Amino acid sequence: MRCMFESRVLIGSALLVSALSGCNGLGGDPMGNPGGNGSPRFEDVQCVPDVSGGKTIVEGKSLSCVFRLEGEAGRSVSSRCEDASGAAIDCGSSSPMQLQPFGSNKLPVKDGLFIMSTARLGSGKRTVVWVADDGEHTARYRLEVNIVPDDGVNGAPGVEFNCGGDTDGSVRVSAGAQLTCTVRFVDPDPDTLSWSYALASGSTPQNEATPFGGSGQTPHEVVWRWSTQASEAGKTWTYAFTVNDGTAPAVTRNLTVSVE
């Protein structure tokens, strides 16, 4: 299953916009979801940045998670937040930590959202438990966030190529064959990266290479393909791949392709 959510939430004077796709990953550790199709349960949780498995988030960054809350259709369920000890945490609409929809709602909830600013929380592990209660059953989802200090230095992202073992940015391909490269976008910071490519030199190819661009959490890897034609033998193309982390200047690296 694949899905895409775009969430726009106002926290104070800041507008948080997040686009999340591929709802098949977990951003935390589910706990206490009761059995039975009618009981409330959290499903398809995914967070940006991905904080699962002890991955870190830099202090001052915002965390955004989407989820579904399933259960008996039409049944009322109330939602709230707790800490690791079970004490209540404010995660209403006026808090820097928000669980939406908050309070009482009808099941199912298809577009649940959790957002949290890590500003002024300090470094270390923080645990937030989402709670859904229908009066008979209670479901919990435990989200553990490992916050690391901001060192004040934002490193530039980078581009790595692997075209069937060729990793130096220069590759040869037989005319009429398909070139397949794994392109990896990396960043020393836990950033979300965006990328694209452009034809830097060479005539317009008969077939366009794909994909054209995209975004993802670092390190982000894509398989890039270009189908050459027999008539293109003896020609050379240079493709320029650009990656941007939204803070440092964009970085471009060339891939030179010689068709033989």
User: Can you give the pTM of this predicted structure?
Assistant: 0.55
pLDDT given at position 33 = 52
CB 45 within 8 A of CB 30: yes
d(CA 13, CA 63): 17
Give tens-digit pLDDT for 88-108.
999 987 788 899 888 899 999
- Return the closest-CA partner of residue 156 out of 118, 125, 186, 135: 186
Q: Do 91 and 112 form a contact (C-beta atoms < 8 A)?
A: no
pLDDT at position 31 is 52
Q: What is the pLDDT of residues 116-147, one digit of tens each?
A: 988 888 889 999 999 999 999 999 999 999 99
Per-10-residue mean pLDDT of the chain, 260 residues long, equals 35 35 39 62 90 85 90 93 94 85 90 89 92 94 91 89 95 97 90 91 94 90 97 97 90 97
User: Which residue, 160, 182, 186, 162, is CA-closest to 245?
Assistant: 186
* The pLDDT value given to residue 252: 96
Which pLDDT does position 172 carry in this prediction? 97
pLDDT value of residue 36: 55
Of the candidates 215, 63, 31, 220, the residue with the CA atom closest to the CA atom of residue 146:
63
Q: Is the peptide bond before 188 cis (omega within 30 degrees of 0)?
A: no
Q: What is the pLDDT of residue 89?
A: 93
CA gap 101, 112 in Å, rounded: 6
